[in-house]
Amino acid sequence: MRNHVAIGMLAVLLGACATTGNIAENAVIHAKNRVAPALVHIRPVKEVFEGGKREEVPVVGSGFIISPDGYVVTNEHVAGQSKSVKCVLSNKEEVEATVVGVDPDTDIGVLKLTTGRRDLPAVKLGTSHDLKAGQTVLALGSPHGLARSVSLGIVSVPDRYLEDRGPMVSSYNTWIQTDAAINPGNSGG
């Protein structure tokens, strides 16, 4: 009789875990589906001068449309000093963009898509004031130039302090550290 009760209790616990897992999984999918339409795959071309030669170097990155008329936020190290920028929207449409502003100190760049449309899917920027270690985070972007990926993690530290080192000198020295997989090309996402 005790074994049947124990097995019954185990079945209830496993069922609860499966339900909790489904709730968490559904929350992740819901969050991804809300944000993914505004995700932009960014392909800037940068001019590099090495050994007396000028070369054009293609770069990959990510960004998000933040207004229905086509403003995109990304990282400065993705879009800054670009000769040209092409963006691929969620519907696979390729659009030219111009760099309208960059801030190397905060590593933020802003692009303007040249579609002329005013009905683009956009996300609302949030705030990091209330972030806590352990909260779930998603990283959406284009790792290694492969568009439309999502990875899951947690906020490891909401206010990581990094000392000024070499070229990384900034008056903004606290960063959000996460364990979500971030690869080259995710920048800006």
Residue 107 a catalytic site member:
yes
* Pairing status of strand 53-58 against strand 39-50: antiparallel
Residue 150's alpha-carbon distances to 29, 78, 140, 180, 189, in angstroms, are 10, 19, 5, 9, 10
Say which residue the tokens 């293609």 belong to. Answer: 58
pLDDT tens digit string along 22-35? 888 888 888 889 99
Look at residue 13 in the predicted model and tell me its pLDDT.
Answer: 39
pLDDT above 70: residue 3: no
pLDDT tens digit string along 79-132? 888 889 999 999 999 999 999 999 888 889 999 999 888 999 999 988 888 889
**Residue whose C-alpha is closest to residue 32's, from 90, 106, 100:** 90
pLDDT above 60: residue 173: yes
**Which of 67, 77, 84, 156 does the annotation list as catalytic?**
77
Residue 77 a catalytic site member:
yes
Residue 171 a catalytic site member:
no
**Which of 82, 107, 142, 151 does the annotation list as catalytic?**
107
Contacts for 176 with CB less than 8 Å, ≥ 6 apart: 128, 131, 155, 157, 158, 159, 160
